[in-house]
């Protein structure tokens, strides 16, 4: 939810798969909730990769591996493709992730993450693969995500990259402000626009 974002240093949860779609992040049968209960969505994050049909955890899935943890999810390219369901961003936030690092995000999901104060960090494919290698070598490898300077650093190797975020969204993330707050301040401009159409 609305929370201010500054700098985060954390271990990572690696998911080295491409094209992770939002149906995997939160399957459709969990979309019937009429409230925004993040704990419910977080509990069902990656449900069918994480649990067997009898509810027992799948041992080989990364979220069930006690070696890995932290508030940074690292995923292969084209993360969040498919359905526009914001429930996917709620599930990621509800689980406790505050950053997702990938070399490529699907457009709608990226907006949904930003609107829920989860920071999508786009890195080069090389940086991503090196980060996966660092985590593979040492599950306690950390990254530093610095929003004010827009840099992400693999603390295991010292490799650092700048990432993009538009100034407005950066301001919103840093100050815990959302778009509705902004739009509500614009009503007279919107009415004027309608009258000129």
Partner 1 sequence: MNTLFDKIWDSHVVSKIKDGPEQLYIDRLYCHEVTSPQAFDELRSRGIKCFRPEKIICMPDHNTPTHDQDKPIADPVSKRQVDALERNAKDFGLTYFGMMNPKNGIIHVVGPERGLSLPGMTIVCGDSHTSTHGAMGAVAFGIGTSEVGMVLASQCILQQKPKSMRISVQGELAKGVLPKDVALYIMKNITTSGGTGYFIEYAGSTIRNMSMEGRLTLCNLSIEMGARGGFIAPDEKTFEYLKGREYSPKGSEWDKAVAYWRTLRSGDDAVFDKEIAFDASDIRPMITYGTNPGMGMAIDAHIPSESSIPEEGLASFRKSLAYTGFKPEESLIGKKIDYVFLGACTNGRIEDFRAFASIAKGRRKAPEVTAWLVPGSWEVLKQIKSEGLDKVLEAAGFAIRQPGCSACLAMNDDKIPAGKYCVSTSNRNFEGRQGAGSITLLASPLTAAAAAVSGVITNPLTLL
**Residues that bind partner 1 in the complex, under the rule CB under 8 A:** 16-19, 21, 23-24, 27-29, 31-32, 34-36, 48, 53, 76-78, 81-87, 89, 104, 106-108, 111-112, 115-116, 125, 129, 166-169, 178-180, 182-184, 186-187, 189-190, 193-194
Identify the bridge partners of residue 81 per DSSP, sorted by sequence position.
21
DSSP per-residue letters across 115-181 = HTT-EEEE--HHHHHHHHHHHHH-TT-EEEEETTTTEEEETTT--EEE----HHHHHHHHHT--HHH
Could you tell me the strand order of the sheet in which 7-15 lies? 119-122, 99-102, 72-75, 7-15, 142-146, 151-154, 160-162
Q: Pick the closer one to partner 1 by CB: 38 or 142.
A: 38
Q: Pick the closer one to partner 1 by CB: 6 or 37.
A: 37
Least separation in angstroms between residue 128's CB and partner 1 is: 9
Residue 14 vs residues 37, 129, 141: alpha-carbon distances, Å: 25, 11, 11
Q: Pick the closer one to partner 1 by CB: 6 or 125.
A: 125
Least separation in angstroms between residue 96's CB and partner 1 is: 20
| Inter-residue contact 132 to 13 (CB < 8 Å) | no
Least separation in angstroms between residue 9's CB and partner 1 is: 27
Least separation in angstroms between residue 50's CB and partner 1 is: 12
> Any alpha helices (H) in 5-153, and if so which ranges?
22-25, 38-43, 47-50, 87-95, 107-115, 125-137
Q: Pick the closer one to partner 1 by CB: 42 or 82.
A: 82
Q: Pick the closer one to partner 1 by CB: 17 or 156.
A: 17
Q: Pick the closer one to partner 1 by CB: 29 or 59.
A: 29
Least separation in angstroms between residue 126's CB and partner 1 is: 11
Least separation in angstroms between residue 31's CB and partner 1 is: 5
Cβ-in-10-Å burial (0-12, 13-18, 19+) of 20 comes to buried
């Amino acid at each position: 939810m609305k929370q201010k974002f500054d700098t985060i240093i954390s271990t990572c949860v690696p998911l080295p798969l491409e094209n992770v779609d939002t149906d995997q992040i939160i399957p459709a049968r969990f979309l019937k909730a009429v409230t925004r209960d993040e704990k419910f969505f977080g509990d069902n994050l990656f449900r069918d990769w994480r649990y067997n049909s009898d509810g027992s955890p799948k041992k080989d899935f990364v979220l069930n591996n006690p070696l890995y943890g932290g508030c940074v999810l690292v995923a292969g390219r084209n993360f969040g493709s498919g359905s526009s369901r914001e429930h996917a961003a709620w599930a990621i936030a509800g689980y406790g992730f505050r950053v997702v690092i990938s070399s490529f995000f699907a457009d709608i999901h990226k907006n949904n993450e930003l609107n829920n104060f989860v920071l999508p960090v786009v890195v080069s494919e090389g940086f991503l693969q090196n980060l996966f290698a660092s985590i593979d070598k040492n599950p306690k490898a950390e990254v530093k995500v610095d929003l004010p300077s827009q840099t992400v650093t693999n603390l295991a190797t010292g490799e650092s990259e700048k990432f993009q975020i538009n100034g407005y969204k950066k301001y919103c993330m840093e100050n815990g402000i959302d778009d509705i707050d902004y739009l509500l301040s614009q009503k007279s401009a919107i009415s004027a626009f309608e009258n000129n159409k």
